[in-house]
Amino acid sequence: MSEEEVLEPETQRPEAPAALAATRQLVAQARTGLGRVIAGQENAIGEVLAVVLAQGHGLLEGVPGVAKTLMVKAVGRLLGLEFQRVQATPDLMPADILGTSILTPGADAFTFHKGPVFTDLLLVDEINRMPPRTQAALLECMEERQVTSDGVRRTLPAWFTVFATQNPIEFEGTYPLPEAQLDRFLLKIKVNYPTPAEERAMLERHHGASAAGILEDAAIEPVAADLLTAARDEIRAVRVASDLYDYILELVRRTREWPMLGLGASPRAAICLLRVAQVLAAFEDRDYLVPDDVKRAVLPTLRHRILIKPEAELEGYDADRVLSDVLAAAAVPRG
């Protein structure tokens, strides 16, 4: 997704449907506000917005220093959502992220002190450094959107979204995420190095930044309180033709039979592919789905849900290359 595809101003889109008024306004404000903070990274920013609007969770992969944390913080500031950050370490315990019950001084009762998961946007840095027991605790939060402590279920905020980061090149002292947890992430977002022009713009911005930092200097104005909910409802109403359901299912089922894959995409992956394609259609100012929306959604939605056979890896195949081959082999609806 290029900047023009994801955050194109409405003036370049004739006959924009009235059904997408809130989404159009949200995208316009995102383009203005986030553009003052982050140079480039249009693909990643669009996918982060898609995760929130589809009410899923996102896994950001990139080397240190490519603005993964800043991106999530800026999106949270733009959307008016509460933000918390957790730095994963090998000794991080479940109570450190969920919260714990503490005996109240002078009383014969325990009081539950909420952990950082009780927020709207939770950023878990270097999630693969989190021990398996804590990963399992986070898994319940992501899937059930609740915390169970001392036998009591506590509901997380309505917009609770986890963004986790991992470094693709450093594996010492890490705990690889199990397939069950990877499948809970709506998208795996690749954050690449900026272009030379974008990196120069970044340097110029930081040269004039105050001690408070570039995010504070940008003074991003949050969107209206009801705009995010309205945009979410518009996206859910994006129309899907019958043949596009078949197209999505064909793509997902092909991954289960593809010779280079040891594990294909799950039924949950098909649902996620549909949800993400609806968001991308709305970003294009369309209240109906077309095959290109599904195609653009395939890589970020499925790249972490498949396992490549070792012999295919030795031949130089990675998830994106295999999925591109699957896309090329599937018949595109013409209706």
pLDDT tens, position by position, 151-198? 788 999 999 999 999 887 766 657 778 887 889 999 999 999 989 998
How many Cβ atoms sit within 10 Å of the Cβ of residue 267?
10
Separation CA 319–CA 263 (nearest Å):
11
Q: Is residue 226 classed exposed, middle or buried when 0-12, 13-18 and 19+ CB atoms within 10 A define those classes?
A: exposed
Separation CA 83–CA 74 (nearest Å):
10
Separation CA 279–CA 241 (nearest Å):
15
DSSP class of residue 176? P
Please determine, for residue 104, whether its predicted confidence score (pLDDT) is greater than 80: no
Q: What are phi and psi of 224, to 5 degrees?
A: -55, 150
**What is the mean pLDDT of the segment spanning 203-221?**
76
Structure tokens at 43: 């693909």
Residues 6+ apart with CB under 8 A from 84: 116, 117, 119, 121, 122, 123
Separation CA 196–CA 111 (nearest Å):
53
Structure tokens at 325: 């081959």
pLDDT value of residue 175: 75
Q: Kindly report whether the global pTM for this prediction surpasses the value 0.95.
A: no
Q: In whole numbers, what is the pLDDT of the chain averaged over residues?
A: 88
**What is the mean pLDDT of the segment spanning 238-262?**
95
Please determine, for residue 15, whether its predicted confidence score (pLDDT) is greater than 60: no
Q: Which helix (H) or strand (E) holds 62?
A: none
- For each of the domains in the chain, give its residue range(s) and CATH number, in order of start: 3-237 (3.40.50.300)
User: pLDDT above 70 covers what percent of the chain?
Assistant: 92
Amino acid in the structure at residue 51: V
For 107-120, the pLDDT digits (tens) are 777 788 899 999 99
For 24-55, the pLDDT digits (tens) are 999 999 988 888 888 888 889 999 999 999 99
C-beta of residue 202 within 8 angstroms of C-beta of residue 194: yes
Closest Cα to residue 129, out of 183, 69, 172? 172
Who has greater pLDDT, 169 or 283?
Answer: 283
For 262-276, the pLDDT digits (tens) are 999 999 999 999 999
- Confidence band (pLDDT; 50, 70, 90) for 105? confident
Q: What are phi and psi of 2, to 5 degrees?
A: -85, 170
Please determine, for residue 233, whether its predicted confidence score (pLDDT) is greater than 50: yes
Reduce the DSSP state of residue 156 to 3 states and report it: coil
Amino acid in the structure at residue 183: D
For 70-98, the pLDDT digits (tens) are 899 999 999 999 999 999 999 999 999 99
Inter-CA distances, 331 with 248, 263, 301, Å: 11, 22, 19
Please determine, for residue 214, whether its predicted confidence score (pLDDT) is greater than 80: no
pLDDT value of residue 2: 47
DSSP class of residue 177? P
For 118-157, the pLDDT digits (tens) are 999 999 999 988 888 898 889 889 988 998 877 788 999 9
Separation CA 20–CA 233 (nearest Å):
10
Give 84's strand partners: 122
pLDDT value of residue 260: 94
Amino acid in the structure at residue 78: L
How many Cβ atoms sit within 10 Å of the Cβ of residue 259?
8
